[in-house]
Structure 1
Amino acid sequence: VHIFKDNLFAPPVIFELIQKASGADDREMYQVFNMGTRLEIYTTEKDAAALINVSESFGVDAKVIGRVEEAKKETRLTVKTAAGLLEYK
Protein backbone atom coordinates (compact mmCIF):
# COMPACT_ATOMS: atom_id res chain seq x y z
CA VAL A 1 0.00 0.00 0.00
CA HIS A 2 0.96 3.64 -0.36
CA ILE A 3 -0.18 5.93 2.44
CA PHE A 4 -0.25 9.52 1.22
CA LYS A 5 -0.75 12.26 3.82
CA ASP A 6 -1.35 15.54 2.04
CA ASN A 7 -3.76 17.43 4.31
CA LEU A 8 -2.08 17.53 7.72
CA PHE A 9 -2.85 19.95 10.52
CA ALA A 10 -0.25 22.71 10.96
CA PRO A 11 2.39 21.52 13.43
CA PRO A 12 2.14 23.10 16.90
CA VAL A 13 4.86 25.67 17.72
CA ILE A 14 6.49 23.29 20.23
CA PHE A 15 7.81 21.19 17.33
CA GLU A 16 9.51 24.21 15.75
CA LEU A 17 11.25 24.82 19.08
CA ILE A 18 12.30 21.16 19.36
CA GLN A 19 13.61 21.21 15.80
CA LYS A 20 15.66 24.37 16.36
CA ALA A 21 17.10 23.07 19.64
CA SER A 22 17.92 19.60 18.28
CA GLY A 23 19.00 20.47 14.75
CA ALA A 24 16.80 17.67 13.41
CA ASP A 25 15.63 17.90 9.82
CA ASP A 26 11.98 17.66 8.75
CA ARG A 27 12.31 13.98 7.87
CA GLU A 28 13.45 13.08 11.39
CA MET A 29 10.87 15.34 13.04
CA TYR A 30 7.95 13.68 11.21
CA GLN A 31 9.35 10.21 11.82
CA VAL A 32 10.04 10.66 15.54
CA PHE A 33 7.41 13.16 16.68
CA ASN A 34 4.85 13.02 13.82
CA MET A 35 4.65 16.81 14.22
CA GLY A 36 1.50 16.84 16.29
CA THR A 37 -0.69 14.56 14.23
CA ARG A 38 -3.33 13.19 16.53
CA LEU A 39 -4.89 9.76 16.46
CA GLU A 40 -5.07 8.29 12.96
CA ILE A 41 -7.94 6.03 11.96
CA TYR A 42 -7.96 4.25 8.62
CA THR A 43 -11.54 3.90 7.41
CA THR A 44 -13.89 4.50 4.49
CA GLU A 45 -14.76 8.02 3.33
CA LYS A 46 -18.34 7.54 4.52
CA ASP A 47 -17.31 6.47 8.00
CA ALA A 48 -14.68 9.23 8.14
CA ALA A 49 -17.41 11.88 7.95
CA ALA A 50 -19.27 10.30 10.86
CA LEU A 51 -16.09 10.03 12.95
CA ILE A 52 -15.26 13.68 12.27
CA ASN A 53 -18.73 14.71 13.42
CA VAL A 54 -18.36 12.75 16.67
CA SER A 55 -14.91 14.20 17.30
CA GLU A 56 -16.07 17.76 16.69
CA SER A 57 -19.08 17.22 18.99
CA PHE A 58 -16.50 16.83 21.79
CA GLY A 59 -14.61 19.96 20.71
CA VAL A 60 -11.75 18.05 19.08
CA ASP A 61 -10.72 19.16 15.60
CA ALA A 62 -10.62 16.30 13.11
CA LYS A 63 -10.25 15.91 9.37
CA VAL A 64 -9.19 13.52 6.64
CA ILE A 65 -5.42 13.96 6.37
CA GLY A 66 -4.72 11.62 3.48
CA ARG A 67 -5.55 8.42 1.71
CA VAL A 68 -4.40 4.85 1.11
CA GLU A 69 -3.57 3.89 -2.45
CA GLU A 70 -2.46 0.72 -4.15
CA ALA A 71 1.33 0.43 -4.43
CA LYS A 72 3.10 -1.33 -7.27
CA LYS A 73 5.96 -2.62 -5.11
CA GLU A 74 6.73 -2.05 -1.45
CA THR A 75 4.67 -0.39 1.23
CA ARG A 76 5.53 3.28 1.56
CA LEU A 77 4.45 6.50 3.19
CA THR A 78 4.52 9.96 1.62
CA VAL A 79 4.04 13.04 3.78
CA LYS A 80 3.41 16.41 2.14
CA THR A 81 4.86 19.23 4.25
CA ALA A 82 5.25 22.96 3.70
CA ALA A 83 8.84 22.24 2.63
CA GLY A 84 7.99 19.43 0.19
CA LEU A 85 7.40 15.69 0.10
CA LEU A 86 8.94 13.23 2.53
CA GLU A 87 9.15 9.56 1.49
CA TYR A 88 9.42 6.66 3.94
CA LYS A 89 9.73 2.95 3.10
Structure 2
Amino acid sequence: MSSESIDRIMSQFEKLTDEEQNSMTTGLSSHFDKPIQFSATGLAALHPDELGIIGNILNGLILTKEYVPDIRGVYGRLNVTELSRNIFFGRIEES
Protein backbone atom coordinates (compact mmCIF):
# COMPACT_ATOMS: atom_id res chain seq x y z
CA MET A 1 0.00 0.00 0.00
CA SER A 2 1.07 3.54 -0.54
CA SER A 3 2.40 5.86 2.11
CA GLU A 4 -0.87 7.78 1.66
CA SER A 5 -2.79 4.74 2.94
CA ILE A 6 -0.44 4.38 5.88
CA ASP A 7 -0.82 8.09 6.67
CA ARG A 8 -4.62 7.69 6.58
CA ILE A 9 -4.47 4.71 8.96
CA MET A 10 -2.18 6.64 11.32
CA SER A 11 -4.50 9.65 11.22
CA GLN A 12 -7.52 7.48 12.03
CA PHE A 13 -5.65 5.68 14.80
CA GLU A 14 -4.81 9.00 16.45
CA LYS A 15 -8.53 9.81 16.69
CA LEU A 16 -8.94 6.95 19.17
CA THR A 17 -8.60 7.27 22.92
CA ASP A 18 -5.58 5.65 24.60
CA GLU A 19 -7.79 2.80 25.80
CA GLU A 20 -9.17 2.24 22.29
CA GLN A 21 -5.66 2.36 20.81
CA ASN A 22 -4.46 -0.27 23.28
CA SER A 23 -7.49 -2.44 22.61
CA MET A 24 -7.04 -2.10 18.84
CA THR A 25 -3.33 -2.95 19.02
CA THR A 26 -3.94 -5.96 21.27
CA GLY A 27 -6.86 -7.25 19.20
CA LEU A 28 -5.11 -6.89 15.85
CA SER A 29 -1.88 -8.41 17.18
CA SER A 30 -3.89 -11.38 18.37
CA HIS A 31 -5.80 -11.64 15.09
CA PHE A 32 -2.71 -11.49 12.88
CA ASP A 33 -0.70 -13.59 15.36
CA LYS A 34 2.15 -11.07 15.34
CA PRO A 35 2.82 -7.72 17.00
CA ILE A 36 1.20 -4.76 15.25
CA GLN A 37 2.86 -1.38 15.62
CA PHE A 38 1.00 1.75 14.63
CA SER A 39 3.95 3.63 13.22
CA ALA A 40 4.97 4.37 9.65
CA THR A 41 7.69 1.71 9.72
CA GLY A 42 5.53 -0.81 11.59
CA LEU A 43 2.66 -0.49 9.12
CA ALA A 44 4.99 -0.49 6.10
CA ALA A 45 6.17 -3.96 7.13
CA LEU A 46 2.65 -5.38 6.82
CA HIS A 47 1.10 -7.06 3.78
CA PRO A 48 -1.27 -4.81 1.78
CA ASP A 49 -4.19 -7.12 2.61
CA GLU A 50 -3.46 -6.69 6.32
CA LEU A 51 -3.35 -2.93 5.90
CA GLY A 52 -6.70 -3.06 4.13
CA ILE A 53 -8.23 -4.99 7.03
CA ILE A 54 -6.79 -2.57 9.58
CA GLY A 55 -8.05 0.42 7.59
CA ASN A 56 -11.54 -1.04 7.32
CA ILE A 57 -11.69 -1.83 11.04
CA LEU A 58 -10.59 1.70 11.93
CA ASN A 59 -13.13 3.19 9.50
CA GLY A 60 -15.92 1.16 11.08
CA LEU A 61 -14.90 2.03 14.63
CA ILE A 62 -14.64 5.74 13.92
CA LEU A 63 -17.93 5.78 12.00
CA THR A 64 -19.62 4.05 14.92
CA LYS A 65 -18.16 6.54 17.39
CA GLU A 66 -19.00 9.65 15.36
CA TYR A 67 -22.49 8.71 14.21
CA VAL A 68 -24.79 8.27 17.16
CA PRO A 69 -28.40 8.36 15.98
CA ASP A 70 -30.84 10.44 18.00
CA ILE A 71 -33.39 7.67 18.53
CA ARG A 72 -35.27 9.44 21.31
CA GLY A 73 -35.47 12.68 19.33
CA VAL A 74 -36.77 10.94 16.23
CA TYR A 75 -39.30 8.95 18.24
CA GLY A 76 -40.47 12.16 19.91
CA ARG A 77 -41.10 13.74 16.50
CA LEU A 78 -43.04 10.73 15.22
CA ASN A 79 -46.78 10.90 15.27
CA VAL A 80 -47.29 7.41 16.66
CA THR A 81 -51.06 7.79 16.69
CA GLU A 82 -51.08 7.62 12.89
CA LEU A 83 -49.10 4.39 12.71
CA SER A 84 -51.00 1.23 11.95
CA ARG A 85 -51.45 -1.14 14.85
CA ASN A 86 -52.53 -4.07 12.67
CA ILE A 87 -50.16 -6.65 11.27
CA PHE A 88 -51.14 -8.70 8.26
CA PHE A 89 -49.45 -11.82 6.97
CA GLY A 90 -49.76 -13.22 3.52
CA ARG A 91 -48.71 -12.79 -0.04
CA ILE A 92 -49.23 -9.69 -2.12
CA GLU A 93 -50.32 -10.68 -5.59
CA GLU A 94 -49.40 -8.44 -8.46
CA SER A 95 -52.14 -7.72 -10.97
Does the alignment reach a TM-score above 0.5? no
More helix per residue: 2
TM range (shorter): under 0.3
Instruction: Name the TM-score, length of structure 1 as normaliser.
Output: 0.26
More strand per residue: 1
Instruction: Name the TM-score, length of structure 2 as normaliser.
Output: 0.25
Higher RCO, 1 vs 2 (CA within 8 Å, ≥6 residues apart): 1
User: In terms of Rg, which structure is larger?
Assistant: 2
